[in-house]
Structure formats: structure tokens, C-alpha cells
Structure 1
């Protein structure tokens, strides 16, 4: 087999799987028998009309399984129809035979690759069979017309199959994007508070013996961070469950960068410097800058060994927003790789910018992010 045919042959059935029965199936199966009998009664010129009517009535139940067993039902219908045609010496001339096209459509809409290839071969053979069986042979106009109807029906099945597949792929892409966004939010909010809890717990354990008051203060900070973590987790759960209309917290922005200056006891001092027209920055850009700065400060507190200060600088100018977070500590490799740098880079990339992190020549670790105005929503 050639590559295209081999690719079709190996393709699986479409997902999600089709429903077994719907109300339309019962309506269709209920309407066809009266129509078959009515046509056989009003068209006495059709040869073997009552024989063909019995055959068509016997094959109507194939419509019930046309989605779950499309090729089998098509093979049964076309096989019986071809066999009867050979016996009586001609094709059925009843118009109600057109319901066979529903089986053709089902093979290309719901069948696997093997079913589609086999169904196409079966339909082609059934369409061309009158050339050998009937005397006289059908005219070229009738043959082309029959092929056109079959091809049109099959094309509709393929079109709906492709549309359903495209929609499923788009839904999966949206799920992945939502999962990535949720992962970033969890890392940038909840993980930020959990990191502060871990730092305070370590500091409290270190000074508990000599300075009980300091240890008590560390416990108070841990309690506050734990409460904020629980509040944010509950807010996320309410949004994900969509069981009610949660009260949405304001989106953090550049004006909230001052919250990062509250350093844990024994941690590096954090300073924030803003330059330029910060009021002109859209909320989405401000939120991204805040989250990147928050993650960079958290990383400095956790991984910058011996750091005494962390400087956060934000400059807004005609080109966009530039963020720089620098500490004077010595970078220490984390025992387990995290997703902080990945999340910061993704946030910047979504807005057409970039985010980089690395050691500075003069010492310390620096995170820089640039968000150009071209990526700002309008």
C-alpha cells in the first residue's frame, strides 16, 4: 500500500466514541417501513417491487448499529442487496433504497481506517457491479450520477469527522493551556507562601533554644502565611468547581510590588524601585510583572546563599516594561529542580516578551524580564 493509504488504514476510530442510540435512530427506523410499503404499492412498474420491499424492510435494523459497527452493517446491506440483484437480474429501483447512503456516511464518519478503506472498496464495487450484471448496462449519465451521490455522501462523513476531530484537538489544547495557567498560579501564589513558611520554620528551629521570643514571632508569621495560603487555595477551588459565583480578588499589579519588601526574620532585605508612568501599564502586564518579581524574590530568599539584599527595579518607558531583580548572594543549586524559571519565561512569552536569569559578573543572581508594548492588549 502507498503511504497515504497506509496512513488511512492505520488510523483509529474517531474520539469520543459515538452514542449507541439516539432518538433520531428510532424516528428513522420507524418512518422507513411505511415509506417502503407505500412506494411499493404506488409504483407497479417497478420489477420485483414487493420482493425488494421485503429485502429493504429486513435491512432497516442495520441502522441501529451503524455507528458502533459501521463496516459490518454496510457489508450486510450491500452484500444482501448485491445477492438479490444477481438473483432477480437487476438493481432495486425503489427510491427508499437511498437509506443505504446513511450506512455509507456512517462508515466514513465513525469507522476506523480499515473500515473506511474496506467500505470505500465495497461501495465502489457495488456501484460498478451493474456494468457487469445488468443487460443493457446503465448509461454513463446514470453511472456518473450514482457515483456523484455516493462521493458527496462520503465527503460529508469525512467533513463531519474532520470537524469533530479539530474540535476535540482544540478542546485538548485549551485544557493544556488551562493546566499550565493553573500550574503557574499555584507556583506563584501558593508556593510563594509555602516557601515563606519553610524559611520561617527553619529560622524558628535555629533560634528556639537561645531566643524563644524570636521563635514565637516565627510561629506567628507561619500562621499568617498558612492562613493566606488556605484562602488562596479555597478561592482557586471555588473557581475550578464553578459551583457558585466566587468573590474574585483584585489582580495584583505594579502598585502591589511593595508587598514583596516584607522580609522574614533573618532573610535578605528587599527594596522596590519604580520608574516611569506605571499608571499606563495594562492590568494584565502589571500582573505578569508582579508574578515574575514575586517568583524571583522567592528564589533569592530560598536559594541565594548569604544574600543580604534583593533589589527589584521596574522601568516603564516607550518600549514597554523592563523588570530586574538582583540579589548579592551566591546561587546554590536546588536539591530538586522546580518550575519557577519555566513559569516566568512562559508568562513573558505569552505577552510577546522574554525573561532571562543568570549570574552577574559582579556577583549575585539576576532575573531580567522585558515586556514590549507590542505585546500589550489593547
Structure 2
């Protein structure tokens, strides 16, 4: 059991999507450098003052690479402090050799546990333990202070693990949402293809029966078969592409533009919903129509759950020659910090992106919330 846990920990990969650098890194570095200069110049009990200042300022640069190279930065910082402490012990130096500002190395400990791989965490923990032990030996006072030091070093490690587990849990929930969408798409793929293929078979049978007595009817049947075949191919390309991408949101046909008024009526009992569908909806493919329906459905659900005192909701669907624009707005009161994005928002964004469209979800210019999606319109032969 313990061996299995150790093996899994050793094989644990790095946390994904570690940012190389953000603006806060520059601010943190400036604060550390300024603190080192101030402490080095004003503190009277510092031994090897110029060296202590240069050491602290130099090690502060490790903060810039703490996410992308956590083990290396921990090794550099704690390794340098170990060397300095050992040199101080050998020289019998009294007083403090390093500045208190070097406490920034706790940020490196946090980054190690937040972003490092399992192997890096294990090795980095050993480096930190050695550095802490040498520091305690050099500046030994009481057992209570030693225990306090252990707690101080442990806190950023626990914090890093907690944040990492929280982000991992959210990513797993998002993956589960996407997996459910893929399963639904695969299940409904049969219904889509079966509908078109059944129509093709019926027309082919009818054409064969009347082919001798009514050649014109047979030609018409071939035209219908061709149109159904084009529709089937278009749907298959779209859906198989979704499955191949591995992040397939639900694009399969079911409900479409014609079902939006009934959908809006379900919310209308609570908040009045105005629906406007303009343009030629006949030529809109079932997958695009289903995606628009799901976008409106999720947007209205968010209004019901999150909007503060809305008095009106507007659903505007415009079918243009090359695209479909779907806009859902409400006049709810502004919410400080905006509305928290949910997993339904992830689904909306995935659907629109996969179809080659764009979507904007956010506060309106003056009040309320806006969901504005644009989907390219791929028409099929009628």
C-alpha cells in the first residue's frame, strides 16, 4: 500500500497551465529587493552586510521562474542558504549572516507544491528539510522556536497542495461535463443518421416501383435521395469532428429554432421573455439549430438562477445569409464582481467554438447580462 502511494506520488505529473510570468511577479520582486536594501542598510546586527544584501537580491530572481522550474529554484535558494550557514559555522561568526528578507523562499516552497511534479516535490522537500535543519543548527535557540519554524515552513506547502487539489477537482468536473456531452452526441448520432437514411431508403424503393411507368417520379426520388445524402454527410462531418476533438459538446439535432418560443414561455411565468426569430430558418442545419436552442436554454436558466430582480428578458435570433446571431439579454441589477461562470457556460462556449463561431458572455453596457453568440451558417441543398 505504502509502496503504491509512493510510486503514484513519484509519477505525478506537473500541474498543467503554469503561467510563465504575471505582472504580480514584478511587484513581488520589487518588494523583496526594496526590503533587502532597507534591511541591509538599516539593521545593525547583520554580519557580512554587503554580502548579505547581494545574496538576498540575487536569490530574489528565483521568484521569476518558480512556476516553470520549481525544483531548480528551490535548490538554488535553499542550497545557497545552506552554503552560507555552513561557512558561517566554520568561521565561528556571531550574529545574523542572512537577512530576514530571505523569508521570500517560502513563496518558492508554495510554488513547488502548487506546480511541481511528484518527483520534484519529493526531491524539493528533501532540499528544504536540509536547509531548514542546517539553519536550526546554526541559530538554535529552543525547541518551541524549532517547532514554530516547522509550522512556518509547512504552511506554504499545505497551501500549495490545497490550491492544487482545488484546481484539479474543478478541471475534473469540467472534463466530466464534456464527457457527458460526448456520450450524448454519440447516442444521438444514430437518430440523426437513421432519420436521413430512412428517408433515402423509402425514396429509393418508391423510385424503383415507379421507375418504369413514371420516369419523372423516379428522377424526383433521386433528387430527394441526393439532398438527404448531402444533409447526412454534413451532419456526420460535424458530429464525427466533435468526437475526434475529444471535447464534443452536444451538437446533435433534437430541438431547434422552432422550439425557442416554447422554451421562453417556460420562464415567462416568472420573468417576461420577448422572443424574436428573424430570417429564413428553414435552411438552418439541425446541428446549428440545436446549438442555438441549447445556448438560449442555458442563458435563460442563468437568468432564472443568477439575475437580480430582472423585469424583462429578450431573446433575439437573426438568421443572416452566412451566419446565425443569437443574443439573450436581461435588465437585472448589476452584481459586484459579475456572475460566477458555471459548467453550463463551459458547454455553451465549447459548442460555439466547435462550430467555428464566437461567443461573448458578460455584463451589459448599463445593466443586466448579455450572451451574444455568432455561428457560421452552413446551408445544405434543399
Q: Which TM class, normalised by the smaller chain length?
A: 0.5 to 0.7
C-alpha displacement of 1:83: 0.4
**Distance in 1 between the 2:199 and 2:149 partners?**
74
1:78, 1:126 within 8 Å by CA — same for their partners in 2?
yes
2:184 and 2:258 mapped to 1: Cα distance?
Answer: 17
Instruction: Select which of 99, 105, 119 maps to 1:94.
Output: 99
Counterpart position of 2:27: 27
User: Does residue 175 in structure 1 map to residue 172 in structure 2?
Assistant: no
Query: Retained in 2: the 8 A contact 1:109–1:160?
Result: yes
Q: State the 1:107 CA deviation.
A: 0.9
1:76 corresponds in structure 2 to: 76
2:122 to 95, 112, 117: 117
Q: Does 1:250 align with 2:247?
A: no
Contact 1:25–1:64 (Cα < 8 Å) also in 2: yes
CA contact (8 A) 1:85 1:91 kept: no
Higher mean C-alpha displacement, 39-48 vs 223-232: 223-232
Residue 358 of structure 2 is matched in structure 1 by none
Distance in 2 of aligned mates of 1:92 and 1:191: 79
| Equivalent of residue 108 in structure 2, options 103, 109, 114 | 103
Residue 227 of structure 1: how far off its partner (Å): 8.5
1:45 aligns with 2:50: no
Deviation string, structure 1 residues 270-290 (Cα, Å, up to 9, x no partner): xxxxxxxxxxxxxxxxxxxxx
Normalised TM-score (structure 2): 0.56
Q: Which residue of structure 1 lines up, in the alignment, with residue 346 of structure 2? A: none
Deviation at 1:69, TM superposition (A): 0.8
Q: How does 1:345-364 map to 2 (within 5 A)?
A: none
Q: Secondary structure at the match of 2:179?
A: helix
Task: Determine the C-alpha separation between the residues in 2 that align with 1:250 and 1:232.
Answer: 20
Give me the whole-angstrom Cα distance separating, in 1, the residues matched to 2:99 and 2:145: 15
What is residue 301 of structure 1 aligned with on the other side?
A: none
Paired position in structure 2 for 1:2: 3
Mapping 1:131-150, distance limit 5 Å? 131-134=136-139, 137-150=140-153
Summarize the Cα distance change of 1:107–1:206 in structure 2 as closer, same or farther, 3 Å threshold.
farther
- Answering whether residue 198 of structure 2 is matched by residue 195 of structure 1, we say yes
- Tell me whether 219-228 or 145-154 shows the greater mean CA deviation: 219-228
Tell me the CA shift for residue 82 of structure 1.
0.8
Contact 1:105 1:157 in 2 (8 A): yes
Which residue is equivalent to 1:63?
63
- Aligned CA distance change for structure 1 residues 234 and 121 (closer, same or farther; 3 Å): closer
Which of 156, 162, 170 pairs up with 2:159?
156
Instruction: Specify every segment of 5 or more residues in structure 2 that has no aligned partner in the other structure, as ranges.
Output: 90-94, 242-247, 263-382
Which structure would you say has the larger Rg? 1
Query: Structure 2 matches for 1:266-285, cutoff 5 A?
Result: none
> Which structure is richer in relative contact order (CA contacts within 8 A, separation 6 or more)?
2
Query: Taking structure 1 as reference, are residues 198 and 14 closer, same or farther at Cα in structure 2, changes over 3 Å only?
Result: farther
Deviation at 1:73, TM superposition (A): 0.8
Query: Does structure 1 residue 12 correspond to structure 2 residue 21?
Result: no
